[in-house]
Amino acid sequence: MLNSTQKVDVIVNEKIGTISPYLHGQFAEHLGELIYPGIWVGEDSKIPNLGGIRKDIVAALQPLHLPVTRWPGGCFADGYHWRNGIGERARRPLRINYYWGMAPEPNTFGTHEFMAFCRAIGTEPYFTGNAGSGSPQEIGDWVEYCNFVGDSSLSQERRENGSAEPFDVKFWAVGNENWGCGGRMDPESYAATYTRMRTSMFDYSGTAVHGIACGASGNDWVWTRKVMDYFKNKHWNHLGTVQSLAAHFYCGTAGTATEYTSAQWLELLARSAAIEGIITGHRAIMDEFDPQRNVNLIVDEWGTWHPVESGKPGSGLYQQNTMRDACVAALTLDIFNNHADKIYMANIAQLINVLQALLLVQEDRCIKTPTYLIYDLYQPHKDAQAVRLVSHADVISDGGASAEFCRDQFIDRSLVALQAAQGSASVKNGVLCITVVNTHPEQALDLEIALTGGMLGDVEIVRLVNNDIHAHNTFANPDAVTLSEPQTSHVDGSTMHVQLPAASVTRIIGKLS
């Protein structure tokens, strides 16, 4: 039986780093039902839209102030030729999405439509260029088309296609998963490809290219070492052309999206918490070649990956999203916060109707998932100063059936341990924000929070909690899972006690004195 009282220390004067808003990034790939009809329904649709973009998803996403969205893939990106997605829509070619079920790709959602979507929801664009079947000239032309304010045939073409002003796209990846679907390259071959393609990508009109290189899959430490070695030591120093290295990590599943035991609940949460080893492991290798950390570590694909829902095509990756997925998201964001000095951007996979989605749409209806609610709950952390939170809570899982998987994600394999209470803390404008997950699926906790370097008075507490660990929102019951109404509690000094319901996420906010 777990001790019902657990303790964490929050050390306010032990600063970690500024929490990059980009850690709340998103990912929108041409896959399954994400783009069509998740974002794009067309101007003639009976579904209310803004120039073809669904009004309901715009209204749902605007309040999250999402910092950045990655597009058009994913594996799709390394078969995508951007010219197919510009110009008159009726004349755009019908292609095949050969990575995702040979589905038809009408190209009606392209560069201009994606930029309209970004502007509608207030997010920065992050483009993934085609390194698998594309060329240096193709990606270089795309950068010029998007960003050049002066006179050239490409900038004039953009104007003729309806955008007088440049798009000012800063984030550009050279390929995706080039160790796999993006060309099955070895690390040195990819690094050479990156270098060749990056040479054609220029800064235009005040918008500097932030070049993003393909990083490792999970714990592939060899990929990171060899790519960084190439950039640093082969021929000449290429590190100045690489601004970020993008790793991918999926914690997978245990059971199905909505059917799982308490043991499988713990197993998946432990698997998700292993992303800490991905961050610390790859950053440590990168530091050997780049001790000044001029190259950022990003994780531009992460999340759960459950079996596809019954009745949906296997290649569409449509899955439901429960309280368990919400706790995975919360644990992951807390780990990002706790390593704010090591990680710059993260993009959950994916935005709508695919994998660990924030929104699900069906015909003219749109619902928010429990994962959406976590992004809402964690907004105060963005741009705040992360401070040290040390959990003394009991260890309740090593991953169970997935213990070996969890250990493998760490360079130091002894570090895997899911605690009953895990969280993070940050300070912005004198306000302390603490988020904490009760990872136990059945037992409530009394959490003692001991502050060092500050005191609190009144605090606001908001929870994500449900009596059913399998709870999720459906089109028949879209509000089965919601955030609680804020409650006010008084803290007498530097120690407070907060009740953590089983399988819940809690946010505490208060002014420091």
Per-residue pLDDT, 415: 84
Domain positions in the chain: 12-386
Runs of H (alpha helix) within 24-148: 55-61, 111-121, 136-147
Token match 């019902």: residue? Answer: 4
Told to judge if 160 belongs to the known catalytic residues of this protein, a careful annotator would answer no
Q: Are 350 and 34 in contact (CB under 8 A)?
A: yes
Count the Cβ atoms, other than its own, within 10 Å of residue 228.
26
How does pLDDT run across 219-232, given as a tens digit for each residue? Answer: 999 999 999 999 99
Query: What is the architecture of the domain spanning 12-386?
Result: Alpha-Beta Barrel (3.20)
Told to judge if 301 belongs to the known catalytic residues of this protein, a careful annotator would answer yes
Beta carbons within 8 Å of 280's beta carbon, 6+ residues apart: 339, 342, 410, 411
Q: Which of 177, 288, 404, 485 is catalytic?
A: 177
Where on the phi/psi map is residue 184: left (φ > 0), alpha (ψ -120 to 50), or beta?
A: left
How does pLDDT run across 416-457, given as a tens digit for each residue? Answer: 899 999 999 999 999 999 999 999 999 999 999 999 999 999
For the chain, 513 residues long, give each residue's pLDDT as a single digit of tens: 677 789 999 999 999 999 999 999 999 999 999 999 999 999 999 999 999 999 999 999 999 999 999 999 999 999 999 999 999 999 999 999 999 999 999 999 999 999 999 999 999 999 999 999 999 999 999 999 999 999 999 999 999 999 999 999 999 999 999 999 999 999 999 999 999 999 999 999 999 999 999 999 999 999 999 999 999 987 656 668 999 999 999 999 999 999 999 999 999 999 999 999 999 999 999 999 999 999 999 999 999 999 999 999 999 999 999 999 999 999 999 999 999 999 999 999 999 999 999 999 999 999 999 999 999 999 999 999 999 999 999 999 999 999 999 999 999 988 889 999 999 999 999 999 999 999 999 999 999 999 999 999 999 999 999 999 999 999 999 999 999 999 999 998 899 999 999 999 999 999 998
Runs of H (alpha helix) within 101-135: 111-121
Q: Which of 301, 309, 448, 485 is catalytic?
A: 301
